[in-house]
Amino acid sequence: MLPWRVAQTRLTSRSILQTQLRKFSKNFSSSAPSINKGMRYTAIAGMVAAPCFWWLVTTRDDAPSLTSPPAQHLVIEPGPSRDQVTRLISQEAYSFRVKSVSGVDRYDGTQLGSNALCEDRFTHGKFPSPWNDGNHWMAWAVFDGHAGWQTADLLEKQLLPHVRHSLSQVKSASVAGPVPDEVVRHAITTAFVNLDDSIIKTAMDTAQGKEPLQDKIKKLAPAYAGSCALLSLYDPVTSNLHVACTGDSRAVVGQKGANGKWEAIPLSVDQTGDNKEEVARLSKEHPGEENIVKDGRVLGMMVSRAFGDGRWKWPLDFQLDSVQRFYGTPPLTPKHDFRTPPYLTAEPVVTTTKIDPSKPAFLIMATDGLWYTLSNQQAVDLVGRWVDAQAAGETSSKPEATYEPFDFGHFWKGVNWKFVEGRTTNQDDNAAVHLVRNALGGNHHELTAGRLAFTPPLSRRVRDDITVQVAFFNSNRKGLSPKASRLTLFTNQARSA
């Protein structure tokens, strides 16, 4: 016997259906008296049968069988093996020859996620010169998202087109002759700032508009989340490498000197609350607010420059209104002294470096997940060693190393959690993968595999999202051709460079 509430519901539903059928029959009869009774019954039957037919075709014949043998012991999948470690750090890897941009020979890249979903994004490839001179430029970029992936995702699709448009306007407005480097840097800066202003303003305009709620939520997301941005543009005519940095992703060039050693040349400086110049800038922009930067953070934020992050840029009244209307993230008050926004800016620091055509060099671009364990010089040394091994035709080596049984408690007993020279290994054909492996633990398999054994959200305790790109200039060396080309998703650029 059915419970009374269920029976009542079924009886009520049945009476409603009967009423609707009577109305349908009556209306059908009055509006079409000449139609025979059989057709009326057919129409009524079709009205009743349609939901039943849908139920029949979408319901499977039987429940799945769970006839697996009874477990005698608890079975849990073990951590990554050596081969699985390689697969994990290589599954998003790519490598491209560059045939139509002089001075650039090849570039490698990879990404290792830690968040679910990974909050990093990247783009790479060639594009027509903004000067319309028939040449192509190269572009590489990494975007380190935080508080969500939405801002980084938008930048992946839209930052480079904005920069290209800004550069093309500069050329069309300039006199004959080469465009000065400072004008190029200003155009890149303008594109960064204008795009971020659009993100923040679009969110505010959307909140007051008449769009459906679901559309407003989507348009607010890139302004609530945030992202760092690191963009490099290479002009083969001038051999200039323009690097724009907003946040704490980092670019460094490795250049081989006459003594055969690789020199690290930093092209960006982390923009965080630990950067004295950034602290001085914020103090000047917000006089009398002594507590803006505390414990290396800007009102709680690690970076001092970023796209999005509306809570550091919007007026307080707008934020309070958004909390009620859109379940927006609560404002920084009262925990932080929030008085005169904006406190963050997307304005980049742009540098221009001439790549010497007579010297082998490479560019390393990476989000902060790599730089947590590697210094600039350590990263350059690792890639330099890798290049020298490739040039010498050395086969990939997998040296076995013996270590005592390990757990993370050893970090408190003198074992260094960052990169250690003695743990270096050279066993990957992709330079970016080579960097990631050595950043995680190198030839210390238990340390590397232990870091990779974590899944989200606990993986953030031992590693961040990591995105790396390595571009090679003027190498012309044996062994630097990619053994395979993996096509990856990137925006507005040709798939073969």
Question: What is the mean predicted confidence (pLDDT) over 47-60?
Answer: 64
**Percent of the chain clearing pLDDT 70 (strictly above):** 81
Residues 385-421 have pLDDT tens digits of 999 998 888 766 556 688 999 999 999 999 999 999 9
Question: What is the mean predicted confidence (pLDDT) over 422-437?
Answer: 96
Report the C-alpha gap between 471 and 96 in whole angstroms. Answer: 9
Residues 266-281 have pLDDT tens digits of 999 999 999 999 999 9
Contact between 331 and 299 under an 8 Å Cβ cutoff? The reply is no
Question: What is the mean predicted confidence (pLDDT) over 468-479?
Answer: 78
Beta partners for 94?
109
pLDDT (0 to 100) of residue 433:
98
Tell me what the pLDDT averaged over the chain comes to. 86
Residues in the chain: 497
What backbone phi and psi angles, to 5 degrees, belong to 261? -90, 155
Contact between 139 and 127 under an 8 Å Cβ cutoff? The reply is yes
Question: What is the mean predicted confidence (pLDDT) over 187-207?
Answer: 96
- Catalogue all structural domains in the chain, each as residue range(s) with its CATH number: 82-171+178-473 (3.60.40.10)
**What is the three-class DSSP state of 379?**
helix
Report the C-alpha gap between 267 and 264 in whole angstroms. Answer: 9
Give how far the C-alpha of residue 188 lies from the chain's centroid of Cα atoms, to the nearest Å. 21
Name the one residue in this structure whose structure tokens are 């990404």. Answer: 111
pLDDT (0 to 100) of residue 62:
86
| Distance separating the N- and C-terminal Cα atoms of the chain | 72
pLDDT (0 to 100) of residue 16:
46
Give how far the C-alpha of residue 208 lies from the chain's centroid of Cα atoms, to the nearest Å. 29
Residues 446-471 have pLDDT tens digits of 999 999 999 999 999 999 999 999 99
Contact between 389 and 275 under an 8 Å Cβ cutoff? The reply is no
> What's the predicted TM-score (pTM) here?
0.84
Residue 175: which pLDDT band, with cuts at 50, 70 and 90?
A: low
